[in-house]
């Protein structure tokens, strides 16, 4: 093809330096033409035979033309299509874009690796030391090493993501048919309600002169102002009897059984397990993920009173007033607010143990309640529940077959604290983004009513590891009795029904309460008096043969947090799926000076209302309570050494 461009209707344009201005500009597409040596080609055609030639072209001269290649490997056009080159565009300009596209995957991979590496370094060097107390880091190495997966161990060490594969619930329940049959047989044997009355009797507690012991008396005003508790209407884990709980658990020293599964301790000798130290756990004989019947406690749902109606005008009026709450500074300045020397540190108080300094203290650790050294305080947020969308039903209750525990503690100067303890065999932790944390076997919750000169002054409701205090006039009542609300799953106690957010903003983490079955603990209880300065628990004049050994048990009322090798266990950033079972009532700071459980700030509220704008923080219950070294020496003597 000659280099001379063609006009639209054919014919070649002569290569001249100038064309006459009378010739219109042809519509010619521009092309990039590589440089070739000029080649002259002589044609035999006459000007007449050249169609469409310029009108002023000389017929006496030969028109020079140059032939050039027409095929370009990088710009092939379909037959019959006009070229689509953009004027001024150059093919080499697309090369940098192509090279950049090739580099993007490498840049993304490098950025991902850098991000993971940075997070790993932050977790290992900053977060891990804050989330894990120093005295637990050695145990953490063994816990991580228990996993059979190399990838799982490395993800746990590097990123704090332990047991990701365990999110698949298929591995949580019992697969063995033999084990399933054993669980079925156990439930069948226990389908008839067990009479546990004999377990609550210990004739050895009845002294010859007990009639004359005024220190055993339960004041009448304590019972008249006893709390009523609304359990959640959609609850799956109802109140439990600690006597029955012992039938379905076996004492373990960490993960090693101390006796045969059929050889269960009872309420009269449970305290003897203290000879094994503080790492004793009452481990469930059943896989709790199989949800055995005794764990749910459905037989202990409060029954309906004979009149079938417990509504009263006081409650209706209270519901109609939303109100708000504020600190009652006048009440905090009263003589009944801050009383006595306080309990000792080994039982959750503030008073040092002069006879055995350095004892472990009850502490909420990531693994659960423990008695640990008091020289490594740390804070971390709790991870708890999303709203359980269960249809609430209004059920009026009364007596539960699971007895409550009443412990009356005189504080001096006319001040008396009445502790009402409620036990559950299982605590279902709350969930964040459908991932549940904080499950544990055994659960102790409590409510306290403080009296001054026989008159009620304040009420405390335990919420996880702390709680809130209210003036007597601030809480809802049925007659003279205050009403509390137990949250679904966690059984945390609140003064109002509804949604109770905590720790995380936006209500992501919250408890839920409603007006489910009403539990009257007075109808079935065992009562005691306690002298906290001498650490002496006495069966009361109302229940003189009630055993007391169970109260001194210094171990855990549930399983030890499961190892990483257990398919039911996982841990994300220090928060475990399953944590330790709790410590008992002895370690709940019964000798507290102020009505709150903790030893930090205690605010007395004189009205209750919306609490969604106030996000609360407590010491983490992550792993559960642990006994500190100071507490251990208090219980087992100054020579106690946990390492031995």
| Section 624-637 average pLDDT | 66
Domain-embedded: residue 475: yes
Contact 398, 523 (CB under 8 A): yes
The contacts of residue 643 (CB under 8 Å, 6+ apart) are none
In the block, tokens 């035999």 appear at 44
Q: Is residue 191 part of a domain?
A: no
More confident residue, 466 or 355: 466
Q: What are φ and ψ of residue 331, in 5° steps? A: -65, -35
28 or 395, greater pLDDT: 28
Q: How far apart are CA 45 and CA 50, in angstroms?
A: 7
To the nearest whole percent, how much of the chain has pLDDT over 70? 55
* pLDDT tens readout for residues 267-307: 999 999 999 998 999 999 999 999 999 999 999 999 876 65
Instruction: Answer whether residue 35 is part of any domain.
Output: yes
Mean pLDDT for 425-445 is: 91
pLDDT of residue 327: 64
Domain containing residue 56:
1-73
Band (19; pLDDT cuts 50, 70, 90): very low
- Residue 518 · residue 396 · CB < 8 Å: yes
Domain boundary among 73, 99, 118: 73
Angle at 609 between CA 607 and CA 610, to 5 degrees: 150
pLDDT band at 572 (very low <50, low <70, confident <90, very high): confident
Asked, for residue 196, whether it belongs to a domain, the answer is no
CA–CA distance, 442 with 282 (Å, rounded to integer): 9
Question: Among all chains, which residue has been given the structure tokens 């403080």?
Answer: 450
- pTM of this prediction? 0.69
Q: 128 or 530, which is more confident? A: 530
User: Longest C-alpha distance within the chain, in Å?
Assistant: 151
With CA atoms as reference, report the closest residue to 488 among 227, 228, 237.
237
Task: Identify the residue whose tokens are 């019964």.
Answer: 590
For the ranges 387-396, 422-431, 436-445, the lowest mean pLDDT is seen at 387-396
Give the pLDDT band (50/70/90) at residue 530.
Answer: very high
Question: Is residue 604 included in any domain, yes or no?
Answer: yes
Rounded Cα–Cα distance for residues 271 and 347 (Å): 16
| Angstrom distance (rounded) from CA 278 to CA 371 | 7
Residue 310 lies in a domain: yes
Q: How many CA atoms lie within 13 A of 491 on its CB side?
A: 25
Which of 21, 47, 73 corresponds to the end of one domain?
Answer: 73
- Measured CA to CA, the distance from residue 338 to residue 452 in angstroms comes to 12
Residue 119: per-residue pLDDT:
67
pLDDT, tens only, 98-151? 666 667 777 777 777 677 667 667 766 776 666 666 656 667 888 899 999 999
In whole angstroms, give the CA distance from residue 204 to residue 378: 44
Q: Which two tokens stand for residue 291?
A: 């949800």
Q: Could you tell me if residue 416 is inside a domain?
A: yes
pLDDT, tens digit, 9 for 90 and up, residues 52-108: 444 444 444 455 555 555 454 444 444 445 454 444 444 555 556 666 666 777 777
Q: Is residue 5 part of a domain?
A: yes
Among 73, 91, 122, residue at a domain's last position: 73
Say how many domains are in the chain: 2
Beta-strand pair 518-519/228-230: antiparallel
Span 382-396, pLDDT tens digits: 222 322 233 333 334
Q: What is the four-CA torsion angle of 196, 278, 367, 252, rounded to 10 degrees?
A: -60
Model confidence at 197: pLDDT above 60: yes
């Amino acid at each position: 093809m000659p280099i001379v461009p063609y006009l639209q209707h054919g014919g070649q344009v002569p290569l001249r330096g100038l064309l006459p201005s009378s010739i219109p500009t042809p519509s010619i597409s521009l092309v990039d033409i590589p440089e070739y040596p000029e080649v002259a080609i002589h044609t035999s055609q006459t000007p007449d035979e050249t169609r469409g030639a310029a009108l002023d072209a000389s017929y006496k001269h030969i028109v020079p033309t140059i032939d050039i290649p027409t095929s370009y490997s990088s710009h092939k056009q379909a037959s019959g299509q006009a070229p689509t080159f953009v004027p001024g565009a150059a093919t080499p300009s697309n090369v940098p874009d192509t090279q950049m596209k090739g580099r993007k995957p490498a840049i993304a991979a490098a950025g991902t690796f850098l991000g993971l590496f940075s997070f790993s370094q932050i977790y290992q060097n900053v977060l891990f030391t804050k989330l894990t107390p120093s005295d637990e880091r050695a145990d953490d190495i063994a816990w991580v090493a228990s996993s059979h997966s190399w990838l799982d161990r490395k993800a746990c060490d590097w990123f704090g993501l332990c047991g990701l594969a365990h999110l698949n619930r298929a591995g949580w329940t019992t697969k063995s048919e033999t084990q399933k049959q054993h669980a079925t047989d156990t439930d069948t044997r226990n389908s008839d309600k067990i009479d546990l009355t004999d377990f609550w009797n210990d004739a050895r507690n009845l002294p010859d002169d007990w009639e004359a012991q005024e220190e055993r008396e339960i004041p009448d005003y304590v019972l008249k102002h006893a709390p009523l508790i609304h359990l959640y209407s959609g609850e799956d884990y109802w109140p439990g009897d600690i006597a029955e709980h012992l039938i379905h658990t076996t004492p373990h020293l960490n993960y090693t059984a101390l006796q045969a599964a059929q050889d269960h301790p009872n309420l009269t000798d449970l305290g003897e397990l203290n000879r094994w130290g503080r790492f004793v756990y009452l481990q469930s004989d059943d896989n709790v993920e199989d949800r055995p019947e005794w764990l749910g406690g459905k037989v202990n749902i409060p029954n309906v009173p004979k009149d079938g109606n417990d509504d009263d005008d006081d409650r209706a009026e209270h519901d109609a007033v939303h109100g708000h709450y504020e600190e009652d500074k006048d009440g905090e300045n009263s003589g009944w607010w801050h009383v006595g020397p306080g309990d000792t540190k080994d039982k959750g108080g503030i008073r040092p143990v002069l006879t055995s300094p350095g004892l472990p203290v009850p502490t909420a650790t990531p693994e659960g309640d423990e008695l640990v050294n008091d020289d490594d305080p740390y804070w971390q947020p709790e991870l708890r529940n999303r709203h359980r969308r269960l249809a609430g039903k209004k059920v009026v209750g009364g007596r539960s077959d699971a007895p409550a525990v009443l412990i009356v503690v005189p504080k001096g100067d006319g001040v008396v604290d009445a502790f009402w303890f409620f036990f559950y065999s299982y605590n279902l932790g709350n969930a964040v983004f459908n991932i549940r944390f904080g499950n544990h076997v055994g659960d102790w919750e409590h409510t306290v009513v403080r009296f001054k000169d026989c008159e009620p002054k304040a009420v405390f409701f335990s919420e996880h590891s702390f709680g809130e205090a209210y003036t007597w006039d601030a809480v809802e009542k049925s007659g003279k009795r205050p009403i509390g609300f137990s949250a679904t799953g966690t059984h945390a106690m609140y003064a109002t029904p509804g949604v109770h957010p905590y720790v995380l903003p936006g209500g992501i983490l919250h408890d839920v309460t409603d007006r489910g079955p009403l539990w009257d603990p007075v109808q079935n209880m065992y009562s005691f008096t306690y002298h906290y300065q001498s650490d002496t628990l006495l069966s009361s004049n109302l229940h003189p043969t009630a055993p007391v050994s169970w109260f001194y048990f210094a171990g855990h009322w549930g399983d030890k947090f499961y190892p990483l090798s257990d398919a039911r266990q996982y841990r994300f950033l220090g928060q475990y799926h399953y944590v330790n079972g709790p410590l008992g009532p002895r370690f709940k700071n019964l000798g507290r000076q102020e009505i709150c459980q903790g030893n930090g700030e205690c605010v007395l509220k004189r009205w209750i209302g919306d609490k969604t704008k106030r996000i609360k923080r407590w010491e983490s219950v992550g792993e559960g309570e642990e006994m500190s070294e100071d507490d251990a020496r208090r219980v087992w003597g100054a020579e106690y050494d946990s390492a031995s």
